[in-house]
Amino acid sequence: MKTLIVYYSLGGTTRRLARQLAEKLNADVSEIKCPRYGAGTLNYLRAGFDGARKFTPQIEMPKAPAGYDAVLIGGPVWVSTICAPLRSYLSSRPSFPEKIGLFLTSGGGAPQTNAVAHASELAPVPFAATLVLKDSTVKANGAKAEIDRFVQEIGAAFIRPGVSG
Ligand SMILES: Cc1cc2nc3c(=O)[nH]c(=O)nc-3n(C[C@H](O)[C@H](O)[C@H](O)COP(=O)(O)O)c2cc1C
């Protein structure tokens, strides 16, 4: 299974999770960059404001998903929904394979129903698996069972009866 992980991260937490997942899945990783947001309180306020008005900022597109069997898309939750750069990415309608997964990090932890629902609305196919982790858990290298469950659900989408490998 050739897997691409595409993520946006402002503070580094989602990046950390993306790297953990990449190691487990032997996946390629590509970051969405968005010059509109940086460090500092004003930037955080802007990020929050943009989240609330569902703004789609300009992004530097990550690697195209062509040739991959699965794509995992990740980012932080901003104001109870997906962060603005992820909204821009999904709205650009990349030509995803049939199997896509969603992983989010947040201050408040799961379930982040609104964020998952918003991402699902923008995605062209249903997510085969979703993972929502609290930022403190990611920083502590926790939730190993949750991460394994997510990886297995993505992998299971490829296992067909009577076919091994
Ligand atoms: C502008 C902004 C808005 C946020 N809004 C929420 C929120 O509504 N709910 C929540 O649980 N966490 C919220 N957070 C916390 C982040 O989702 C969390 O810290 C995340 O892990 C950050 O990921 P990153 O380090 O990859 O950017 C917000 C963070 C920022 C910067």
- Band (pLDDT 50/70/90 cuts) for residue 158 is low
Instruction: Report the percent of the chain where pLDDT is more than 70.
Output: 95
Cα dihedral: 48, 109, 90, 154 (round 10): 170
What number is the average pLDDT over the span 32-40? 92
Please identify which residue in the block is written with the tokens 């309608």: 93
Average pLDDT over the chain reads: 93
pLDDT at 162 over 60: no
pLDDT at 165: 45
CA 132 to ligand 1 centroid distance, Å:
12
Q: Which phi and psi (to 5°) does residue 78 adopt?
A: -120, 135
**Could you give all domains of the chain from N- to C-terminal order, each with its CATH number?**
3-156 (3.40.50.360)
Read off the pLDDT of residues 43-57 as tens digits, 9 standing for 90 and up. Answer: 889 998 998 899 999
Q: Which atom of ligand 1 is nearest to the CA of 105?
A: 21
Nearest to 77 by CA among 42, 118, 43, 20: 118
Read off the pLDDT of residues 134-153 as tens digits, 9 standing for 90 and up. Answer: 999 999 999 999 999 999 99
CA 39 to ligand 1 centroid distance, Å:
13
What's the CA gap between 136 and 22, in Å, rounded? 20
* Residue bearing the CA closest to ligand 1, atom 30: 78
Residues lining ligand 1, Cβ inside 6 A: 9-15, 44, 47-48, 76-80, 105-108, 135
CA 80 to ligand 1 centroid distance, Å:
9
Q: Which atom of ligand 1 is nearest to the CA of 48?
A: 1
pLDDT at 164 over 50: no
Read off the pLDDT of residues 106-136 as tens digits, 9 standing for 90 and up. Answer: 999 899 999 999 999 999 999 999 999 999 9
Pocket probe mutation, ligand 1, options 53, 106, 134, max atoms within 8 Å of Cβ: 106
